[in-house]
Amino acid sequence: MSIAVAAPRTGRAHRTVLAALLLTTAALLIVAEADTRRAEAQLARAVVAALTPGRAVASGSIVYFGIGTPEVTGLSITTLCSTTVLVVPLVLVAVAVLGVTRARSPRVGLGLIVGVAIAVTSNMIRFGSAAWAYSEYGRDGFDLVHRYLGSLFVIAGFIAAILLVLRIALRESPRRAIPDATLRRRGRARAEDAPRTTRRGRSTASSTARSAAPATDPPADLAAPLRRDRHRTGTRPGRKDRR
């Protein structure tokens, strides 16, 4: 009994520690938001360099592209455009799943990793497409992509990230389906054996009844010749033999 009681307590303690770590991570992301934007600029530089002419470098939270061309432009990553505003809500969703549901901690962590990867990728695509639109169509192209098309793309990616976090975290493990399948197979086997046992019982009972039944008189068709012979001779059968 002591083991059965201690196991749930250990599981709850593990989930509580994991939820506390996730909350701490979310708080650190908010506090160190400036450092996060600088790291994000280094990541966005590679995407911008692949989509725009010339070279691209990152300095602080600004990505300069078009180096080596007549026009050099800087793309500044602000707080509202940072991936932090996407990652922190995903972390809070994972904490809520741990606190409200019985989802397994590894699955919650896997779902959070996938969701964060989608959010970061969506934001990087927005940065790269905005820089490309500026290099090809000027300020008008940049405003169209950055304010409208890019924002809608990031919102769609954020919604997809949340749905994936919930789907992966709340999905049941395949191991739980094995006992149910085993029970169903056992139930079918018992259902198949039940009629056989019944038929055997009936056949045994019927044979016992037949063996226990008393002997009856011979059929009427066998007794008829004896009666006719007694009527013609007036003697009983077998008297001639005794003479």
Q: What is the pLDDT of residues 103-153, one digit of tens each?
A: 899 999 999 999 999 999 999 999 999 999 999 999 999 999 988 999 999
Task: Judge whether residue 93 has pLDDT over 50.
Answer: yes
- In-domain check, residue 124: yes
Q: Which domain holds residue 144?
A: 2-30+81-173
Burial, 103: exposed, middle or buried (Cβ in 10 Å; 0-12, 13-18, 19+)? Answer: buried
pLDDT value of residue 204? 43
Three state DSSP letters for the chain: CHHHHHHHHHHHHHHHHHHHHHHHHHHHHHHCHHHHHHHHHHHHHHHHHHHCCCEEEEECCEEEEEECCCCCEEEECCCCCCCHHHHHHHHHHHHHHHHHCCCCHHHHHHHHHHHHHHHHHHHHHHHHHHHHHHHHHHHHHHHHHHHHHHHHHHHHHHHHHHHHHHHHHHCCCHHHHHHHHHHHHHHHHHHHHHHHHHHHHHHHHHHHHHHHCCCCCCCHHHHHHHHHHHHHHCCCCCHHHHC
Does residue 44 lie within any of the structural domains?
Answer: no
Its pTM stands at 0.66
Question: Is 243 among the domain residues?
Answer: no
Quote the number of domains for the chain: 1
Asked whether residue 215 is domain-assigned, the answer is no
Q: Tens of pLDDT along 169-192?
A: 998 655 544 455 555 666 666 666
Whether 221 is covered by a domain: the verdict is: no
Q: Does residue 163 have a pLDDT over 70?
A: yes
Task: Please report whether residue 12 resides in a domain.
Answer: yes
In a domain, 52, yes or no: no
203 pLDDT more than 50: no
pLDDT digits (tens, 9 = 90+) for 22-69: 999 999 999 999 999 999 999 999 999 999 999 999 999 999 999 999
Give domain status of residue 56, yes or no.
no
